[in-house]
Amino acid sequence: MASMDDLPISVMGSNFKRNSLVDEPVTDEEGSDSPESRVGISHVRSGSTTPRNRQASPTHSPRLGPSRLGSFDQSSGDVHHASSFSGFKLFGFSSNESLHKLKVDRRVKKRAGIVWYQRTRFKGILILILLVGMFFLVNWVMLLRLQEQDDIIEEHHDNQANSNPELPGNVSSPKISVQGKRKAGRRKWPKGNYGRLLALAAHALAEQGENKPEPKDLWQEPLLASSAWKPCADQRNWESSVERNNGYIMVTANGGMNQQRVAVCNAVVLARLLNSTLVVPRFMYSSVWKDVSQFSDIYQEEHFINYMTPDIHIVKELPDNLRSLDLEAIGSVVTDADVVKEAKPSFYLKNILPIINKNKVVHFLGFGNRLAFDPLSFELQRLRCRCNFHALRFVPKIQETGALLLQRLRQQESYPGPLDKHLVGPFAKSTMNGNKARSPKGSRYLSLHLRFEIDMVAHSLCEFGGGEEERKELEAYRAIHFPALSLLQKTTKLPSPAELRSEGLCPLTPEEAVLMLAALGFKRKTKIFVAGSQIYGGSSRLTALTSLYPNLVTKEKLLSTSELQPFMNFSSQLAALDYIGCTAANAFAMTDSGSQLSSLVSGYRIYYGGGRMPTIRPNKRRLASIFSKNNTIEWRIFEIRVRKAVRQTKHVFTRPKGRSVYRYPRCKECMCWTGT
């Protein structure tokens, strides 16, 4: 019988062996082996630090009793060795409890991290919203202060202008103000006239400042190859006009100065086509323009006759034997109603030449746009260009005042423009006060033809935000000055004003024009010369323009009353000054591509500009689509869309077939290609 002292050892030995063979590694909930279980198994299998040969003999084993590092479980009969991590307690915690607590701690920390992240994200969003709100609040306050400052400055200029009206538009200060009194305080943008977009434009211009550069192509033509086209319409490749001719052609041109210019050149071509002598054209008095000016009041008559002599024969008056004839009675008067618009040369050879052969004279009364551009022979087309770009020079009175206008536009700078000598002749020297130009940028300016006079507005059949009062006023004007259009409007269903605008058939308003300029990137301090100052609606329609661009000037602001006195009541002569100011500008922007002034100015800049005189031609249909979203569109999107629409029309291509050589002179008939 074994002694009691040997019982624990034998029992421990048996239990130890059983544990070493039966115990399985402890696994976590997912079934993976835990590091603690693997460590416990290694210790259980080793038994103790005693060598294996000594463990086999009980006599060599010391007596083992209860210990704080090991325990004997009588109920289960299992003995947990002190060196095993799978069954003993370490610092009062079992290994299983440690694992469970560790997992619980990890879950708690994970949940706490999620809660912390959510709270932090909410706080971050709240702080971001507050910062954005503060940003817009500060910008709004700055914009209000800027507008109030502009009002104070403009009110100061108004007081100066009223106190000294003889000054030439307050030349000492480039800022001008709208004529008429304005209330002090914060500016109120016109309701219904893009008030929201105008406020955004003002904010964008204020942020632009002086440091932000303008777009690179703003003052340049986009086509580098354009400089390879050179003027050559002065070259003649045919025989001089013969003395013998079929008769005489008289022309009384209607319209304003620009329409009359086109009629003169068309008459020159017609005289060559019909082998006839041209009588110096006369200009019809218009109830719209109310101008009695004749050819010699605007153009140098002797230069015109002498320059065109190799091409056609020109006289100042009819011979005495024809002057006494009743031309209407003998059927020699031809009105615009008798000739279709842009008639082909065959029409004149078939219908007009017989009249000349019979009566020796024909009188074209009106003659507005009555000769097609195609089909026309090479030499006749070149003759058109020769007349417009070389034969028609303004009289010295207009040239001298035009040179003075350019000098003040350039702020007394000595930098001459490339077109000065062609526009103002010998007076171009007056713009060169110094020996050397200081900076072209310091004297550059933008010209804007704001074609928004009442005749254009009434003839367009569009509406411009004036309501019933505007509608009645324009209907009354049409009844007097455009009776045929007024009758057509009553008897025929015409497109609505909204349809006309969506098709791009309405002239740009002053508000639309200034929004276009701001979107293109012109800075607030840009000097802008505005032609066509008699804007429909008066000075109030210029409020938006002068508010965003205070350096806006007109010929009336730059020239004194005494300097303008010789041209008063002569709208065509005043239009000649606008023509000079627009053509010589570093950049020219039109608001209506159908305008004759815009057409002639852009063509002149192409012909003599050498590819360095950009012209902004808005696509009114695309702009109408953009402006229709004025209540919702953001300013950055508005900028991108406007620049894209204008960039596509800013390119200068060769003349398309059937289009005007006055507007598109870049063709083989007018200009010569010198590139490779």
The answer to whether 500 touches 460, Cβ cutoff 8 Å, is: yes
- DSSP for 243-257, written as a single string: S--S-EEEEEE-SSH
Query: Which pLDDT does position 608 carry in this prediction?
Result: 95
pLDDT in tens, 165-222: 333 333 333 333 333 333 333 444 444 468 999 999 999 999 887 677 888 888 887 6
Query: Which pLDDT does position 412 carry in this prediction?
Result: 61
Query: Which pLDDT does position 79 carry in this prediction?
Result: 41
In the three-class reduction of DSSP (H, G, I as helix; E, B as strand; rest coil), residue 283 is classed as strand
pLDDT at 492 over 60: yes
pLDDT in tens, 404-463: 999 999 986 556 788 999 999 999 875 555 444 445 566 789 999 998 999 999 999 999
Query: Which pLDDT does position 15 carry in this prediction?
Result: 40
> What percent of the chain stands above pLDDT 70?
73
Query: Which pLDDT does position 112 carry in this prediction?
Result: 79
Give strand pairing partners of 229.
673
**Interatomic CA distance for residues 374 and 144, integer angstroms:** 56
Query: Which pLDDT does position 223 carry in this prediction?
Result: 63
pLDDT at 127 over 60: yes
pLDDT at 610 over 50: yes
**Interatomic CA distance for residues 103 and 493, integer angstroms:** 84
Tracing tokens 């440690």 back to the chain, one arrives at 98
The answer to whether 642 touches 520, Cβ cutoff 8 Å, is: yes
In terms of Cα–Cα distance, which of 339, 330, 392, 387 is closest to 364? 339
The answer to whether 532 touches 457, Cβ cutoff 8 Å, is: no
Instruction: Spell out the residues 6+ positions from residue 31 whose beta carbon is closer than 8 angstroms to its own.
Output: none
Instruction: Spell out the residues 6+ positions from residue 565 whose beta carbon is closer than 8 angstroms to its own.
Output: none
Q: Please state, rounded to an integer, the average pLDDT across all residues of the chain.
A: 79
Query: Which pLDDT does position 22 carry in this prediction?
Result: 36
Query: Which pLDDT does position 538 carry in this prediction?
Result: 85
Specify burial of residue 232 (Cβ count, 10 A radius: 0-12, 13-18, 19+): middle
**Interatomic CA distance for residues 535 and 454, integer angstroms:** 7
pLDDT at 394 over 90: yes
Query: Which pLDDT does position 171 carry in this prediction?
Result: 35
pLDDT at 381 over 50: yes
Query: Which pLDDT does position 431 carry in this prediction?
Result: 52
pLDDT in tens, 331-358: 999 999 999 999 999 999 999 999 999 9
Query: Which pLDDT does position 64 carry in this prediction?
Result: 41
Query: Which pLDDT does position 442 carry in this prediction?
Result: 61
pLDDT in tens, 271-293: 999 999 999 999 999 877 789 99
pLDDT in tens, 567-581: 998 999 999 999 999
216-220+395-432+441-452+507-610+615-649 maps to which CATH number? 3.40.50
**Interatomic CA distance for residues 176 and 531, integer angstroms:** 15
In the three-class reduction of DSSP (H, G, I as helix; E, B as strand; rest coil), residue 605 is classed as helix
Query: Which pLDDT does position 417 carry in this prediction?
Result: 83
Q: How far is CA 283 from the centre of its chain?
A: 38
**Ranges of each domain in the chain:** 216-220+395-432+441-452+507-610+615-649, 248-391, 458-496
Query: Which pLDDT does position 70 carry in this prediction?
Result: 42
Rounded to 5 degrees, φ, ψ at 344 are -80, 160
**Interatomic CA distance for residues 141 and 147, integer angstroms:** 10
Banded model confidence at residue 634, pLDDT cuts 50, 70, 90: very high
In terms of Cα–Cα distance, which of 447, 441, 403, 404 is closest to 425? 403
Query: Which pLDDT does position 391 carry in this prediction?
Result: 98
Query: Which pLDDT does position 441 carry in this prediction?
Result: 62
Banded model confidence at residue 224, pLDDT cuts 50, 70, 90: low
Q: How far is CA 154 from the centre of its chain?
A: 26
In terms of Cα–Cα distance, which of 675, 38, 658, 62 is closest to 372? 658
**Higher confidence at residue 310 or residue 116?**
310
Q: Which of 52-56, 391-395, 615-619 has the highest mean pLDDT?
A: 391-395
In terms of Cα–Cα distance, which of 366, 52, 605 is closest to 16? 52
- The secondary structure of residue 654, as a DSSP letter, is P
In terms of Cα–Cα distance, which of 608, 617, 618 is closest to 665? 608
Banded model confidence at residue 228, pLDDT cuts 50, 70, 90: confident
